[in-house]
Amino acid sequence: MERTGTAVAQGTGGGLPVWLVARGLIPETGPQRAFAGATFVNQIGKGLFIAGAALFFTRSVGLPVSQVGFALGAAALIGLAAGIPVGRLADRRGPREVFRLAVVVQALAVAGLVFVHSFLSLMAFLCVAELALSAGTAARGPLTRSLGAPHPTRYRSYLRALNNIAVGCGALAAGVAVQMDTRAAYLSLILGTSALFLASAALASRVPSVLPIEAPAEGSRWPALKDKPYVALTALDGVMSIQNQVLIFALPLWIIGHTDAPRWFVGASVAVNTALVVCLQVRVSRGVDNNTAAGRVARRAGVAFLLATALIAVAGGAPGWVAVVVIVLGVVVHTLGELWHAAASFELSFGLAPEHAQGQYSGLFAIGQGLSNAVGPPVLGLLCIGWGGPGWLVVGAVLLVVGQVVPLVVKWSDRTHARVLG
């Protein structure tokens, strides 16, 4: 407690910022706040792009929906290839420098989308943008760990809550362009996204450089790929990350097509989830400060996901007002599982990786989450929407099993590293 108070006083100089820091509304130190600002601006740009890019390509450029969907999905998968090699570069050259370069490249690639006139040009610019995004994600891992020490999971949780606000702001801003539905409005959306990315890179220059940690002379150049427990953890976290698509993809389709709940409740359910994440993510992460605690929290998340999917499944045959109540309960329980999963994921991605290779391991870990975003919608569509209630239970059961296996992988990793050190 004394350390925190001292840090607060040193970081803010008294006054209102002390009150904000004491309640976790802003980070303690200047570098943490600088990186939070860079991340916030970056995520506003992400929200703009997510909400408006597809409409720009279809309504302004005039490309078919099928081509746009394929290009977005294929580019996202191709982009994952940059994670591990760029992560290694961040370990050797410094994560701040790599992060800034990646964001600048992403900004230029997004700006280049205004010149798109064909499927091939769309693929070219999107692939560059996604490769840069993956590179920035790999560099962000060791940078977050360094800035957030000695509690990087708490700081990463703060960034996640902040990111939810930022993406929402970006999506609201994109709504203006979508409502206007003109070429000029869509061009402003794309160029605005690029400008926000450039601003993010500029703000990141205020973050101090992180000195690389020298790797062991006898170690492998690619330790992440040879770390079997970590590869297993990446796969498990990728499966559990499918839960991220439940509330934004499967639940809206379920509410509209399979329940008597009103259509407006689709937006309300997402709002409940967002509010809970913003208010509780940092609080939930407290105490998740070692690998064992993270394993226990992952197990708890699996239980919550099963209960949540069971509640949502029940809403399928319930009267309108009952369906609303049951779905609200399901969303709340699912969000608790989401918060626990995020806290465990943050801690284990840092804690099971060696200090000298945080970037490389971060790049590997992001692959699991990236693949989850690609396969999640079709899997949930097939099970939850195509099969109905039993499909929801199958999804919950899979997430439950994954949550129970995570602590076993943590113990496996501890034994493996103990043998190496011994």
List, for residues 56-95, the tens digit of each pLDDT value. 998 899 999 889 888 988 998 898 888 899 889 888 888 9
Q: Are 402 and 240 in contact (CB under 8 A)?
A: yes
pLDDT, tens digit (0-9, with 9 covering 90-100), for 152-171 = 888 888 899 899 899 889 88
The span from the CA of 347 to the CA of 77, in Å, is: 25
pLDDT at 8: 38
Nearest CA to 300 among 340, 263, 330?
Answer: 340
Per-chain mean pLDDT for the chain: 88
pLDDT at 218: 75
Q: Are 351 and 291 in contact (CB under 8 A)?
A: yes
C-alpha distance across the termini of the chain, in Å: 35
pLDDT at 26: 79
The span from the CA of 6 to the CA of 389, in Å, is: 53
Take residue 70 and report the two structure tokens written for it.
């394929």
Instruction: Give DSSP secondary structure letters for 323-355.
Output: HHHHHHHHHHHHHHHHHHHHHHHHHHHHHTS-G
Q: Are 338 and 244 in contact (CB under 8 A)?
A: yes
For 116, 135, 178, 229, the CA distances from 130, given in Å and listed in that order, are: 16, 8, 23, 27
Q: Is the peptide bond before 17 cis (omega within 30 degrees of 0)?
A: no
Per-block mean pLDDT, blocks of 10 residues, the chain (422 long): 37 55 71 93 92 88 89 89 89 90 96 95 95 91 88 88 89 87 92 96 91 77 91 96 91 90 84 89 88 95 97 89 93 96 94 90 91 90 93 97 97 78 44
pTM value? 0.85
Q: Are 105 and 159 in contact (CB under 8 A)?
A: no
Nearest CA to 237 among 356, 346, 124?
Answer: 346
pLDDT at 271: 87
For 239, 240, 349, 357, 369, the CA distances from 236, given in Å and listed in that order, are: 5, 6, 12, 21, 10
pLDDT at 2: 32
For 59, 126, 272, the CA distances from 109, given in Å and listed in that order, are: 20, 7, 34
The span from the CA of 163 to the CA of 174, in Å, is: 16
Nearest CA to 191 among 94, 103, 111?
Answer: 111
pLDDT at 27: 80
